[in-house]
Amino acid sequence: MNKTGKTAFGGVITSISVAAMFLTTIFPFFSYVLPICAGILMIVANEELGMSWSFGIYSAVSVISLLILADKEAAIMYIVIFGYYPIIKGKIEHLGKVFALILKLIICNTAFVISYYIIIKIFGFSGEEFDEFGKYTIPMLIILSNILFLLTDFILSVLSELYKKRIKKHIGRIFK
């Protein structure tokens, strides 16, 4: 794909990702699902354009999301984990299954701690909701975050294989 095609393709991926992120304004209960959907598009960007272009798209979507989204939690979740993880996932998986799983869980837990720290400290989340569940709130959030991440990782693997086997050959012809 030539540079013009890459630019056009990157613009399309960026705009679709921003549109998916913007839907969190209309459907606020999808604060985690829509950033994951926007991140899924990074599989396509990474396959077609490479890692450097993918990080450029990720950066553009991140900045635009922070600027225009009312749901800052969704923007933070995209920035801290769901936007860049599909880009680096393939590199991590080349390290071996056990080491890759450990590294993935470290990335996941670090990302969720950073995101909730940002949400609490910068965006002024009071944490009053935590009082309803008492001392079990934080451990439950950690467990649920890891389950969400592992499900997302599995879905990314399946969709990546599907893209490579069924769709990739058609995309290259469109953006030549």
Q: What is the pLDDT of residues 79-137, one digit of tens each?
A: 999 999 999 999 999 999 999 999 999 999 999 888 888 877 777 766 565 566 666 77
Cα 46 to Cα 138, 140, 144, 148, 153: the distances in Å are 34, 33, 28, 22, 16
Give me the domains of the chain, ranges plus CATH numbers.
3-174 (1.10.1760)
pTM score, whole prediction: 0.86
What pLDDT, in 10s, does the model give residues 12-27?
999 999 999 999 989 9
pLDDT at 141: 81
Is 29 a residue whose pLDDT tops 90?
no
pLDDT at 5: 84
Dist. CA 168–CA 26, nearest whole Å:
31
